[in-house]
Amino acid sequence: MPLNFTIAPLKSTLNADLQAKIDQKTKPRGSLGQLETLALQIGRIHNSLTPQLNKPCVLIFAGDHGIVDAGVSAYPQSVTAQMVANFLAGGAAISVFARQHNIDLWIVDAGVNADLNAHPQLIDAKIAKGTGNFLSHPAMTPEVCRSAIQCGAAQVLRQYDNGCNCIGLGEMGIGNSSSAALLMHRLTSLSLVRCVGRGTGLDDKQLRHKVTVLQRALNQHKEATEPLSVLATFGGFEIAMMVGAYLKAAELGMLILVDGFIASTALLVASKLYPQVLDYCVFSHVSSEQGHQALLHHFRARPLLNLDLCLGEGSGIALAYPLVQSAVLFLNEMATFAEAGVDQ
């Protein structure tokens, strides 16, 4: 089942008009700094001089990982399902921030190792109760990996058909920072030590153990070098679905808000398959997870916030969203010199 996405490069026909509109606002040229760059990018993505943010949405993809059995996380696997319940009850950080900023929130069960109760915000897309332990065999088969990618794409199409044109992707999965570190290492050639972080709060001894375990996994799967092979070998169901979600959102011309380390690693895989996807992405923040800082440098990205976050869940997206709103509002509502009667 081949991947079949069509992601168009951003059009340049409105570039000059967008820049002129920004420069004619009642301010010194460039004085709104990164907001001006952001407004220009959003106008280009939506191909409009008056872009609008319609029904903003965060999708949280949740899945469990077999590698947790090797002791790479400070938390037990059961926390994944417990946090999904917390999302649905409205008690998690992303739940609070999404309510604050009127962002729709959906939780996608990509592969949680539990039977979850039905809920209006829960989307049952479970592939299996967690991936395999990649210390002994690939996390998933190539066929399952491609199926997960297509399933993630379908979740975005559903939101698009409901009127959404601004989407963010979050994740939940105990052990997924281990998957992300291996994906990053294999697809960037950065050293493993530079890609591995403390995840959910490992101490120094636990961190050394995590690096040792992940190096063993790399030695076990030296043949996995191509993006889809790397994803199937070391990834998670939630990460694979996020890859498809990024690609579909870009194909549909949506504004994509990128969260932290895990979310950015899924984007790395997507960008290795379709480099144009990066044109549609706004990086919400830089995480305190060391791998994320190196990954943003790899992308040559300028994140909007630096708050030392390392939570995931899409929390950075919700916090950065007001800045995205401000970029659109100043472009659409701020007076020009002529309108305000101010000498230019």
The CA R_g of the chain, rounded to the nearest whole Å, is 20
Using the Cα atoms of residue 218, residue 220, residue 221 and residue 223 in order, give the sign of their dihedral: positive
Whether 313 is catalytic:
yes
Helix axes 237-251, 227-234, angle to 10 degrees: 140
Phi, psi of 171 (to 5 degrees): -150, 160
Active-site residue (options: 36, 238, 251, 313) = 313
Beta strand 122-124 pairing with 166-172? unpaired
Please check whether residue 277 is in contact with residue 93, taking contact to mean a CB–CB distance below 8 angstroms: no
What's the rounded Cα separation, in Å, for the pair 280 and 245? Answer: 12
Burial class (CB in 10 A: 0-12, 13-18, 19+), 255: buried
What's the rounded Cα separation, in Å, for the pair 307 and 6? Answer: 35
Q: Which two tokens stand for residue 286?
A: 């830089």
What's the rounded Cα separation, in Å, for the pair 134 and 80? Answer: 19
Q: List residues with catalytic annotation.
A: 313
